[in-house]
Amino acid sequence: MNQFAQAILNGFSQGAIYALLALGYVMIYKATHVISFAQPALMVCGGLFSYHLTAQIGLPFWPGLLLAMILGALLGMAVERLALRPMVGKPVFTLAIITIGVDIVLRIAANRYMGANPRIVTFPDGSRQYEFLGLSITHQRVALIAVTAITVVALVMFFRYAKAGLAMRATALNQETALAQGIRVGAIFALAWAIAGGLATIAGTFVAAGSAGMEQNTWIIALKALPAIIIGGLDSLPGAVIGGLAVGIVESLTAVYQPDVAPFLGANFALVAPYALMFLVLLVRPYGLFGTREVERV
């Protein structure tokens, strides 16, 4: 029982990272109807911004994270402006492929910076253990969950009360109508990418603060947020959070139980379990758990 609860808790904190990334995907999808395959690169770059600011320049963790988020947001905006704005109105598939190209280019630049050594962001007092009810969690994981919770609440508030949030919702609903209401749709696209870049930076920073740090193949983590958004539904913010947490928990549970329960699935099945989960969910609900069913008009 304790092992089970501990696995859930670990999965929950890992899921927080997926949730942050998934929120970024959904932000971009809602605003521009494009799935950004550049999100792994934004995550890696964001983590490296944090690393550079804290470890190389010597800023403390939190100001470093804040500054890195601003840099990440600027990077997101730059990607949108340079690679995607010229293509507005083209098929979404084309745009999605362009983001793959952007991802490759950015990740090469990031790899060049990283070299062969993992880059680890030191989180102040990060490995202190908290114990309660026989479960243990590190200080850093608590901070991650807290930051994720604050981010989600801030996003919800933003969409509900801020003028820009309202403008984003209007754009997501119908771009032309939003344009007719005086909303600068281009600026909304930039804002969506900026938010996605910032979210990816938080995720990247906490990935880099983990035990393995940021390595050349860490970017794969960001792709696991894709099953998360599919499970939650491409255009649903709560779906992204729930999907992200679900993916984290399923991954963690599989890692603990699959070697005993279903050894025929092979070693490290946990790494691909999110994709298997995605297939199962889609067989039942083709638009995810919370996604809006597409209505066809002829």
Partner 1 sequence: MTSMLTPRRAPRPPRGRPQLRTSYAQDMGLLNTPAKRRSTALVILAAFTVPFLVTDDLLLIFTLGLIASVGAIGLNLVTGYAGQVSLGHAFFLGLGAYTGAVLGGDPEGSVTGYGLPMWIWLPAAGVVAAIAGLIVGPVAVRLRGLYLAIVTLGLVFLGEHIFREARTLTGGPGVGRRGPDLELFGIDFAEAGSLFGLGLSRDQQQYLLALVFLIVFAILGRNIARSGVGRAFSAVRDRDVAAAVIGVNLTVYKVMAFAMSSFFAGVTGALYYAVVGVFEPGAFGLLLSIQYLAMVLIGGVATISGSIMGALFITSLPRIAQEIAHLFPIISTSTVGGGLINVFQFEAILYGLLIIGFLIFEPRGLFGIWMRIRNYWKGWPFSY
List all residues 6 or more positions away from 188 whose beta carbon is below 8 Å from its beta carbon: 31, 164, 167, 168, 171, 178
| Per-residue contact string for residues 11-30; x = within reach of partner 1 by CB under 8 A | ------------------x-
Rule CB under 8 A: is residue 279 a binding residue for partner 1?
yes
Count of residues touching partner 1 (by CB under 8 A): 48
Residue placing its CB nearer to partner 1 in the complex, 184 or 293:
293
Strands 135-138 and 129-132: antiparallel
Cβ neighbours of residue 296 under 8 Å, at least 6 residues apart? none
Helices (H), 80-216: 92-114, 139-161, 163-173, 175-180, 185-209
List the end-to-end C-alpha distance of the chain, in Å, as a whole number. Answer: 54
Q: Alpha carbon of 87 to those of 31, 96, 116: distances in Å? A: 15, 11, 36
Distance CA 121, CA 47 (A): 8
What minimum distance in Å lies between the beta carbon of 188 and partner 1? 20
- Which residue in 131, 176, 260, 294 binds partner 1 (CB under 8 A)? 294
Stretch that binds partner 1, among 55-63, 80-88, 177-185, 242-250 (CB under 8 A): 80-88
Site stretch for partner 1 (CB under 8 A), options 4-12, 79-87, 153-161, 191-199 = 79-87
Binding positions for partner 1, 250-269, rule CB under 8 A: 265-269
Stretch that binds partner 1, among 8-16, 97-105, 162-170, 172-180 (CB under 8 A): 97-105
Q: Which two tokens stand for residue 185?
A: 């749709």
* Least distance between partner 1 and beta carbon 145 (Å): 26
Are the CB atoms for 292 and 233 separated by under 8 Å?
yes
φ, ψ for residue 154 (rounded to 5)? -60, -40
Judged by CB under 8 A, the chain residues 98 through 137 that form the site for partner 1 are 98, 100-105, 108, 111-112, 115-116
Q: Which is nearer to partner 1, 205 or 254 (CB)?
A: 254
Q: Which residues bind partner 1 (CB under 8 A)?
A: 29, 34-35, 83, 86-87, 90, 92-94, 96-98, 100-105, 108, 111-112, 115-116, 223, 226-227, 229-230, 234, 265-269, 271-272, 275-276, 278-279, 282-283, 286-287, 294, 296, 298
